Chain A
Amino acid sequence: MEYFIQQLVNGITLGSIYGLIAIGYTMVYGIIGMINFAHGDIFMIGAFVALISFIIFGLTGVALPIILLLVLLIAMLFTACYGWTVEKLAYKPLRGSFRLAPLISALGMSIVLQNYVQVSQGARVKPMQPLITGGLEFFKNSDFIVTISYLQIFIVILTIILMSIFTYLITKTDLGRAQRACEQDRTMTALLGINVDRTISITFIIGSSLASVAGMMFVLYYGVIDFYIGFLAGIKAFTAAVLGGIGSLPGAMLGGLLIGLIETFWAGYVSLEYKDVAAFSVLIIVLIFFPTGFLGKPDIEKV
């Protein structure tokens, strides 16, 4: 039982990270109908920007909460630039091209970003000393002590805050309304005087900044990153987006949590070596039997 609770806590933490990445996939899919394959690498870049800023601020000796806030903002800002540029360079010229063209282009972009970071930051694993230490301990009398670290609490709370801001942005503001309109009918939206290109750009910017927050959490949580983390995390987050119903924002969060839980429970109870197989199998099973996911709309093919 105690072990189960511990796994549950770990799963929710991991799920928050996946959920934040998954939002980027699902938003882009909703608005332009493409799988942004490079999104995992945007997350990786976010992690690197966060790592670099942690090192810089670590030298100045500022108080921890201020460092966290500053790093968060810096990572969001710089990573958003990447998301914006990738969209402008690789996807925007391809609107109206054949269906697989943006996917191939995104694949190319993903290779470019990975190797770009490998060249500029080196191929070796980057370790970082833990910044947030300690935690709360429960069930002290039993054999297995459940630990909820402050870091896990921080990650979950930050995710909830960001998700609330984000939900407000999408449901209540003009920007969100424009975005939802673009999802439904781009031509009509343009006719109504909304700048579609700008709306799409903003979508990429929001998606990338959320991914960069996930990147920052990843650095803090695991303490090591390399240029290759974006691939696996990206696939898992995409699985999360599909599981929750691609195109649906609450679905992405739900899917993220589920994937996080599935992965931790699989690793905890079944087999540690095959934990990535679990994520991939879920992806395949969901796509085959359940392509609309939990909260997605059915996809009707039109002639």
Chain B
Amino acid sequence: MEKKDIIQSFKDSLFTGLIALALFGPIVGLRTASKGEGLFITPQWGVVFLLVGLCILGRFLINLNSARKTEITFISKFTSKFSAITEDKAKHFAITAILFAVVFPFLPFTDRYFMDVAIMILTYIMLGWGLNIVVGLAGLLDLGYVAFYAVGAYSYALIATTFGWSFWICLPLAGVFAAFFGILLGFPVLRLRGDYLAIVTLGFGEIIRIILINWYEVTNGPDGITGIPRPSFFGLPFKRSPDEGETSFHLFFNLEYSTMHRIIFLYYLILVLALITNYFTLKIRKLPVGRAWEALREDEIACKSLGVNPTNTKLTAFAIGAMFGGFAGSFFATRQAFISPESFTFIESAIIVAIVVLGGMGSQTGVVLASIFLIGITEMFRDLEQYRMIAFGGAMVLIMVFKPKGILANRKPTILMHGEKK
């Protein structure tokens, strides 16, 4: 490295610092706060100088490494090694993971909090797998997936509270309703190009939420629906003292009553639901319709000329993805026993999309890893909620810049005509 280069990169870093000062100066440096009447400004120059300093230093180091290129190769080398390993071991990994998931509730360190987090992670895994059918396999970016989650949750809640039907009848019904909404939306919009489709689905998600907020007669507005029946163990409720003529779970199996029973049951319920989603996806990928999805994702025009009907094919992906979203929604409703439109905001859709994108669109294992990472690890830093979202968004940008196909890229066709080329 010559002296000239160093001076050059030094100047460049100073320029970066100047820009950083302009960026952070007003927004971070001058914090507005209400005091009595009107707003006042509290300066926070320390933070600004810290951030600007970091930017200058970072830029200088990157320049010193003349780094951009080496950085990219480093990251892609690392991730490709990673995905190569996981691809070889995918089967072992899957079996180990499932075994671990099965024994997890009985491990000595597992307590209530761990179970709750695990249930949440599994819900997101299921949603991720459901969305993966739409985004990963069919290549349709759906930014309103939470709408189907909401439809599932509300149809479960409404049916269960109005008619008092059991969970096992309402669950498939909720799935059917969500799939129906998927078709309703999908039918007109699936002819649209990818980025328009993304915006339209986003609009649809918001419309559903606004309707849920304002349609008091049915949805009870922002107050939400309370008293949603808890699931029963095939007819045996989890109650300490069952009603007349009923046997509850702990009495039937002669166990001592514990609230953990219900939690463990919910855990297995979502585990089974998620695994069904996964199994279904793995199987349907090998069927003609699944292969048509993958082909459409790669080249729509070629598909059209080979006689694949793109609208119908996309519609099946959309409806099936929506159906699993609906299942997950009714699980959510029965677990919470309370739902309100607040649980179904756009940010929820964004989180699910982030999970699928970070995991690598089309990779089932990737979704699991991304969910554990995004939900599980960040759950431990609950206090840093807002920073968590910054990290979410930042990770989405970084992944797109350095590894656009996700950490575990899996865009290989599931079936090849003459076996895999060596």
Contact = CB atoms under 8 A, between A and B. Distances in A.
B393 A231 contact: no
B30 interface: yes
A283 B197 CA distance: 11
Interface string A268-286: 0000011011001101100
Interface string B375-402: 0000000000011011011111100110
A85 B23 contact: yes
Contacts of A238: 199
A302 B88 CA distance: 38
A84 B189 CA distance: 33
Contacts of B194: 99-100, 103
A204 B196 CA distance: 21
Contacts, number: 178
A283 B404 contact: no
A18 to B, nearest CB: 15
Nearest to A34: B195
Interface string B98-142: 000000000000000000000000000000000000000001010
B26 A108 contact: no
User: For chain B, what secondary structure do more than half of its interface residues adopt (helix, strand, loop), or is it mixed?
Assistant: helix
B400 A97 contact: yes
Nearest to A238: B199
Contacts of B354: 108
A277 B188 CA distance: 18
Given A120-B27, A231-B346, A112 B206 contact: no
B195 A56 contact: no
B396 A35 contact: no
Interface size class for chain B?
35 or more
A288 B395 CA distance: 33
The 6 nearest A-B residue pairs measured at CB:
A108-B396, A111-B393, A112-B393, A280-B203, A105-B400, A115-B389
Given A34-B195, A52-B41, A117-B27, A276 B397 contact: no
B401 A105 contact: yes
A111 B195 contact: no
A121 B346 contact: no
A110 B353 CA distance: 14
A93 interface: yes
26 contacts: A48-B27, A51-B32, A56-B30, A77-B22, A78-B25, A90-B401, A97-B404, A100-B195, A102-B400, A104-B353, A104-B357, A108-B400, A111-B350, A119-B387, A120-B28, A122-B33, A129-B38, A235-B203, A238-B199, A276-B210, A284-B189, A287-B199, A287-B200, A288-B189, A288-B192, A299-B193
Interface in A68-100: 77-78, 81-82, 84-85, 89-90, 93-94, 97-100
Interface of A: 34-35, 45, 48-49, 51-53, 55-56, 77-78, 81-82, 84-85, 89-90, 93-94, 97-105, 107-124, 126-129, 231, 235, 238, 242, 273-274, 276-277, 280-281, 283-284, 287-288, 291, 299, 301, 303
B210 A274 contact: yes
Contact of A112 (B202, B210, B390): B390
Contacts of A97: 400, 404
B207 interface: yes
Given A97-B400, A110-B393, A277 B207 contact: yes
Contact of A107 (B40, B203, B214, B350): B350
B30 A287 contact: no
Interface string B2-45: 00000000000000000100110111101111100011110000
B350 to A, nearest CB: 6
Nearest to A285: B188
Contacts of A273: 210, 213-214
A115 B393 contact: yes
Interface in B324-348: 346-347
Nearest to B400: A105
Contacts of A52: 26-27, 30, 32, 41
B49 interface: no
Contacts of A111: 347, 350, 389-390, 392-393, 396
B203 A101 contact: no
B404 A101 contact: yes
B211 interface: yes
A107 B389 CA distance: 12
Given A45-B27, A55-B41, A81-B22, A99 B195 contact: yes
Contact of A127 (B39, B357, B396): B39
Contacts of A82: 23
* Residue of A97, A105, A107, A121 most packed against chain B (CB within 10 A): A107
Contact of A119 (B143, B189, B390): B390
Contact of A100 (B22, B25, B198, B389): B198
A105 B295 CA distance: 24
A291 B350 contact: no
Given A108-B393, A284-B200, A103 B141 contact: yes
B301 interface: yes
Contact of B397 (A77, A108, A116, A123): A108
A107 B353 contact: yes
Contact of B19 (A81, A107, A109, A303): A81
